[in-house]
Chains A and B, each alone.
Chain A
Amino acid sequence: DTGVSQDPRHKITKRGQNVTFRCDPISEHNRLYWYRQTLGQGPEFLTYFQNEAQLEKSRLLSDRFSAERPKGSFSTLEIQRTEQGDSAMYLCAGQTGTSEQFFGPGTRLTVL
């Protein structure tokens, strides 16, 4: 158990709808990362936070993607106007200092 939880585990939505995913790391994880993993590929880095500050967001896939970590604890990733190409596993990882990243179980998104 990495201590990182994600909710929901699965999400099915229709094209054009907005979706929001939540990640809860442990309190010691001052850094939080979001990745996307498509079928047959390794995870792809999207964005990361140092406490509540979002220090890198240029790798978000489009302006339909946004992320927040309002109090430096949990984080949310939102996708607006979903497209079928957004179907993937979305992974969150927490990190303490310069340790390794600990991944949550992921949220699998299916866009119909």
Chain B
Amino acid sequence: AQSVTQPDIHITVSEGASLELRCNYSYGATPYLFWYVQSPGQGLQLLLKYFSGDTLVQGIKGFEAEFKRSQSSFNLRKPSVHWSDAAEYFCAVGALSGGGADGLTFGKGTHLIIQP
């Protein structure tokens, strides 16, 4: 069965500092990987996705992620965080169709706190 592990429940970063959020996955087939962000009381917004091709993918709001098959990882990075980046971040893995019969499998999320 597929699974996603986000090892950091909380991360605190100073405004302007760089950020890396970790994600490890277990999936029996070719993984299709996503990062979503959720602000309090809001739905999920897609930051970026990896389906195939270049393993470094660019997303919205200055985020990027790198797919490393050998490490089963898909870590999210941002060179300089802004106070508005404070939110909950979820990594997810899915089937070829981006969902399908298994839907997406999500990690438990990482809560990002930005210090002034």
Contact = CB atoms under 8 A, between A and B. Distances in A.
A43 B104 contact: yes
Contact of B109 (A42, A93, A106): A42
Interface string A57-96: 0010000000000000000000000000000000101010
B43 A101 contact: no
Interface residues of A, number: 28
Nearest to B97: A98
A102 B34 CA distance: 12
The SS class assigned to the B binding surface is: mixed
Contacts of B104: 33, 35, 43, 45, 101
A31 B101 CA distance: 11
A101 B90 contact: no
B25 to A, nearest CB: 12
A52 B13 CA distance: 45
Contacts of B92: 42
A31 B102 CA distance: 13
Interface string B67-110: 00000000000000000000000101000111111111111110
Given A43-B44, A106-B43, A55 B101 contact: yes
Interface of B: 4, 34, 36, 42-46, 49, 90, 92, 96-109
Interface of A: 2, 4, 31, 33, 35, 40-46, 48, 55-56, 59, 91, 93, 95, 98-106
